[in-house]
Amino acid sequence: MKKSLILLLAAAMTASSAVAQQYITIFGTSLYDDKEFIYPSGIPIPADEVEKITYEVDSLFDTRLLYGRIAADPSNSLFSEALKLTALADTLLKYDRRFLDGTERTYFRYKSHVNSEVGWYDMERFYDYTVFVEPNNVFADAGIRTIDQLKAYAKDIYDAVYPEDAQVSDPKDRRNSLNRFMAYHILRYPMRLNQLTAYDGNTLADNFNRDIADISAYHTTLMGAVFKVSAPKISGNDLYLNRRGVKDNADKYGKKVPGIKIVNGSSVEAMNGYYHLIDGILTYDQQTIDNVLADERWRVDIKLLSPDFMIHAEELRGNYLMDEDPNNPNPYSPYGRNIAYKWGTLENFTANNTDDQYNTYPLVHRRAHKVFWCYEGDEINLFGLSDFTIRLPLLPAGQWEVRLGYCGGIPSHPDVALYLNDELTIERLHMSYSYSQNRDKALTDESAPKVLPGPKEYASGYTSNALLWFNENDNLCRAVVGRIVSDGKNNCTLRVRVHGPETQGNLYELMLDYLEFCPVWIADNQEIPED
């Protein structure tokens, strides 16, 4: 018997639907048949089993989205009022699901070193958010109880950082001080607390040495500026925003900034993301810039360079110890999935070369494993000849040394040319060389790139008594790409161009792990070694 499907929709909602051959897939809040059986959103339904679809307005739909969830709590009234005034409430009321290229799950088969694997194509794209919310009592502690007081507070902070925009009075304008204040609280991807850093309180935790450095991650906000999330080794598993230090102490440079604590147990899930309460006022103020973000080295895992990686955070983490069988690929593997991205579908990654020999294979994000020689266990792989540009996170004003972290010592890894802001800085980096091979070459060749060993804060291995720290692994390298001067207002770029030979094809593997952005005063500090 054919079914009659009832789809509840909000009048303001943008629903996406797709028909692929004999299947119908609908994204919505609730999907029922005439027997009141509930279908999960996004599940394909055989078209020949469906007689009709009836659309009904769900008057409560907006209350299930992020802005609705935030506004529903009266203790968030000032924050929700500011969201509405800046029109960022409209952003948080979006529910956007779409197919990039058909609805049939397909995969790309490849070989990474000795591992035969598959990457499942990034077929679905959704646009969700994470919001960090100050409740009314946090604002009240700073003497802020009305929207006018919040506007004045934001103006004092952001006019000092962006004096050229001090006269922008429209709160819906992204250059406006209140708009910047609110946008700095929002990420363009959904994050549970245990996804904000690589620390999940469980399997991967012992791969970090938190006695010498916090586990940290650098996230780009809707404002464009970055904030830092830290998981320090102190009581509990608390997370902090824009914190500096090691455990309860200052770092080796004598700097300590307590940061803003994310309130444990405060997280609220909505249909289009999450919001988390914080115990202080989050700003991109000059003090935070000077003492935290512009004054210490960033190590940015490659997945944080595009929100289109981060929307797959759950499946890219998966099971750190188990793999699916590549001979029997399963798109719904309980162990997680590697994700393959076609060029043109990734924000911040742009293919440069229109030559047919370049960029013919997808980019693959390999999910995290404890034993991989990769920072935080995951990496990006490209195959064949590649030529692409990465839009880098927005760095505070100043001079920075840029480094590329990767695994060397593998014959299939190519030689690459590297450019910063379109200026060639390395003509040929031998990514197949180990650290010691690069070091020895530099002794006899002044033109050879400078390559550092891997960082000592992270290790690979199954158990704490069998860890191989990255600075002791000769295969792990950090190439010094060059130095750039950031104006603090515009994003810099990194271009990567693979040299031949063309005959390697799919077997020719470029591996990217992480980037480091190091203030020059730290890189050049002879009295306090960086690592």
Q: What's at 95, amino acid-wise?
A: Y
Rounded percentage of the chain residues whose pLDDT exceeds 90: 62
Strongest mean pLDDT among 30-39, 92-101, 135-144, 327-336: 135-144
Strongest mean pLDDT among 57-61, 433-437, 466-470: 433-437
Query: Using the 8-state DSSP alphabet, how is residue 396 labeled?
Result: P
pTM for the complete prediction? 0.89
Q: Closest by alpha carbon to 90, among 166, 182, 161, 175?
A: 182
Residue 79: band (very low, low, confident or very high) from pLDDT cuts 50, 70, 90: very high
3-state secondary structure of 477: strand
pLDDT in tens, 437-448: 999 999 999 889
More confident residue, 521 or 52: 521
Q: Closest by alpha carbon to 75, among 266, 303, 247?
A: 266
Tokens representing 525 are 């500090």
Q: What is the average per-residue pLDDT within 156-167? A: 97
- Strands 186-187 and 129-133, how do they pair? antiparallel
Q: What is the pLDDT of residue 313?
A: 86
Query: Is the CB of residue 214 less than 8 Å from the CB of residue 249?
Result: no
Q: Which residues contact 426 (CB under 8 A, 6 or more apart)?
A: 416, 417, 418, 449, 479, 481, 482
Q: What is the pLDDT of residue 299?
A: 97
- Judged against a pLDDT cut of 70, whether residue 137 lies above it is answered with yes
Q: What is the average per-residue pLDDT within 224-229? A: 98
**What gap in Å lies between CA 183 and CA 220, rounded to an integer?**
10
Query: Is the CB of residue 42 less than 8 Å from the CB of residue 96?
Result: no
More confident residue, 198 or 229: 229
- Please, which residues bridge with residue 230 across strands? 216, 240
Q: Closest by alpha carbon to 472, among 376, 373, 404?
A: 373
More confident residue, 282 or 111: 282
- Judged against a pLDDT cut of 60, whether residue 226 lies above it is answered with yes
Tokens representing 391 are 């839009």
Q: What is the pLDDT of residue 14?
A: 37
Q: What is the pLDDT of residue 55?
A: 63
**What gap in Å lies between CA 375 and CA 73, rounded to an integer?**
39
Hey, how many other C-beta atoms are within 10 angstroms of the C-beta on 412?
17
Indicate the Cα dihedral angle 53, 59, 61, 62, nearest 10°.
Answer: 140
pLDDT in tens, 53-73: 666 666 678 889 999 999 999
- Quote the mean pLDDT of the chain: 87
**What gap in Å lies between CA 411 and CA 1, rounded to an integer?**
59
Q: What is the pLDDT of residue 26?
A: 58
User: Strands, DSSP E only, in 317-466?
Assistant: 339-341, 349-351, 363-366, 379-383, 387-391, 398-407, 415-420, 423-430, 451-453, 459-460
Hey, how many other C-beta atoms are within 10 angstroms of the C-beta on 37?
10
Q: What is the pLDDT of residue 11?
A: 36
Residue 36: band (very low, low, confident or very high) from pLDDT cuts 50, 70, 90: very low
Query: Is the CB of residue 292 less than 8 Å from the CB of residue 229?
Result: no
Residue 463: band (very low, low, confident or very high) from pLDDT cuts 50, 70, 90: low
Q: What is the pLDDT of residue 425?
A: 98
